[in-house]
Amino acid sequence: MNTMSRANALPETPREFGFFVDGEWREAGEVYERASPGHGVAVTRIQKCSPADLDAAVAAARRAFEGGGWAGLSGAERGGVLLRAAQILRERRDEIAYWEALENGKPIAQARGEVEHCIACFEMAAGAARLLHGDSFNSLGDKLFGMVLREPIGVVGLITPWNFPFLILCERVPFILASGCTLVVKPSEVTSATTLLLADVLAEAGLPRGVYNVVTGSGRTIGQALTEHTDVDMLSFTGSTAVGRSCVHAAADSNFKKLGLELGGKNPIVVFADSDLEDAADGAAFGISFNTGQCCVSSSRLIVERSVADEFEALLAAKMARIRVGDPLDETTQVGAITTEAQNATILGFIEKGRTEGARLVAGGGPLDLGRGQYIAPTLFSGVTPDMAIARDEIFGPVLSSFRFDTVEEAVALANDTVYGLAASVWTRDIDKALTVTRKVRAGRFWVNTIMAGGPEMPMGGFKQSGWGREGGMLGVEEYTQVKSVHVELGKRTHWIA
């Protein structure tokens, strides 16, 4: 069966994008090419912006903010633009999914699903723009009335990673816009296309010029300069813990800009003997293989009750072997390519470490040769001990490490044995066990008898070293505001000076 339609063919020549500042497309004078990781063929040409291009983008965002043409609109008017953007995204869903699959290597069907989620984010934020409000205090006595105003924080810098280029963008941009802020986005250098396509969508939806700006280029130059910029009021960063740390230093050394950080994860999936083992195995296979495990919320540590551990691992390994790993443009593919050569080498390095440190390979265990592109088989290690590298480090690939427990306390201790706290999942039919684990494990996003579920209504973010702040939901809009407490005296003042 041919599952590649003509619309899924590779582009004949790489598509060249400009960068977007103050409502217009610009050229930097130098471009670089990005090859599709699933095919090894150049698909896009991206501008290599200079620090001067970044300054121009920040200046445009500042003018657009201070001019009041966006922040000064009513929530209903801002929401109207976001709703129009949602409609245009719906019309351009397949096009956006296509470029996302090409640059990132994810399956095209998955990419379409992600664009659907992005549309929901815009619709949710449109409502939130109208609901955003402060507070009042009618309880300060007869003579004093208190109001708490919410104001947009100003110019936001947004640095996004390559694993979910469009989804992570859209879990932030509509919420930033709903708050009344303006922004400068620096997408990952390897997956910039869809962030640039969003500029077109927003302009067509009626977003005023200068509100959404995109600069492209390397993290170490343009990204770093954005973190250090003294005219950026807030920085939202999603990526590695190492760069997250450098953002904190840069904020402290520049203008104390507010930070939102979504960093790494080493997320536990706790499986009790009483759970539906077929369901749990399906969830565990999905949780580690979805997006080739290049997912901050991947469930990469399986913590399974000893009495069913052998049975469960066998069930899981059989399911993992049936996952359809293949060409991102094939409609039937479930798991696509590894996004970068560096990440491919990192994952294979961890698999090697797992072997040499004494873990037992139960499924996968290496690269898959599909003729072109870089692919890795979903991999399961059993008998992992807490000191091993595959137990502690974020691998960011389809590699699952399995541990065993006898008591609820042991399961909780193993789940919490990490510096991270992004997400966790628990599988059991026993409400006591489900809620005990949920209450005692320190993680920002929790799933009970499911995994990776969610919607834009729910806030997302990490405990411990997984980050600061929350994206999504009403909290996700409030994150980009600051509050001003206003005290109003009523009636004649009681004089201090007699």
163 near ligand TXE, rule: CB under 6 A: yes
Q: Does 159 bind ligand TXE (CB under 6 A)?
A: yes
Task: Determine which residue in the list 28, 102, 296, 363 makes contact with ligand TXE, applying CB under 6 A.
Answer: 296
Among 264, 287, 364, 476, binds ligand TXE (CB under 6 A): 264
Cα separation, 128 vs 457, in Å, equals 10
Residue with tokens 């009523």: 490
Distance CA 265, CA 393 (A): 9
Respond yes or no: is residue 262 known to be catalytic: yes
The whole-angstrom distance between residue 265's C-alpha and the CA centroid of its chain comes to 12
Q: Is 105 in the site for ligand TXE (CB under 6 A)?
A: no
Rounded to a whole number of angstroms, the distance between the first and last alpha carbons of the chain is 94
Nearest 5 degrees, angle CA 167-CA 63-CA 485?
A: 80
**Identified catalytic residue from 171, 228, 296, 479:** 296
For residues 346 and 449, which CB has a smaller minimum distance to ligand TXE in the complex?
346
**Binding piece for ligand TXE, criterion CB under 6 A, among 220-228, 352-360, 440-448, 469-477:** 220-228
Name which of 161 and 473 has its Cβ closer to ligand TXE. Answer: 161
Query: Which residues pair with residue 46 across a beta bridge?
Result: 32
Annotated active-site residue 296? The verdict is yes
Closest separation between CB of residue 238 and ligand TXE, Å? 5
Indicate the residue among 152 and 293 with the shorter CB distance to ligand TXE: 293
Determine how β-strand 234-238 pairs with β-strand 155-159.
parallel
H helix intervals, 6-92: 51-66, 75-91
Catalytic residue among 262, 305, 471, 479: 262
Q: Which amino acid is at 73?
A: L
3-state secondary structure of 62: helix
Q: How far apart are CA 197 and CA 95, in angstroms?
A: 9
Strand order, beta sheet including 144-152: 135-137, 144-152, 481-489
Residue 160 or 379 with smaller CB distance to ligand TXE: 160
Q: Answer yes or no whether residue 396 interacts with ligand TXE by CB under 6 A.
A: yes
Determine if 482 is a binding residue for ligand TXE (CB under 6 A).
no
Residue (238 or 267) nearer to ligand TXE, CB: 238
One of 88, 97, 111, 243 touching ligand TXE (CB under 6 A):
243
Taking a C-beta distance cutoff of 8 angstroms, is the pair 74, 132 a contact?
Answer: no
Q: How far apart are CA 165 and CA 219, in angstroms?
A: 14
Is residue 261 at the binding interface for ligand TXE, with CB under 6 A as the rule? no
Which of 114, 123, 394, 479 forms a contact with ligand TXE (CB under 6 A)? 394
Handedness of CA 434, 436, 439, 444 (dihedral sign): negative
Q: Which residue number, 259 or 277, has a Cβ lying nearer to ligand TXE? A: 259
Could you tell me which residues come within 8 angstroms of residue 111 by beta carbon, excluding any fewer than 6 positions away? 96, 97, 98, 100, 101, 104, 166, 328
Site string for ligand TXE, 311-350 (x = CB under 6 A): --------------------------------x--x----
Question: Which residues does the annotation mark as catalytic?
Answer: 262, 296
Q: Which residues bind ligand TXE (CB under 6 A)?
A: 159-163, 186, 188-189, 219-220, 223-224, 227, 238-240, 243, 246, 262-264, 296, 343, 346, 394, 396
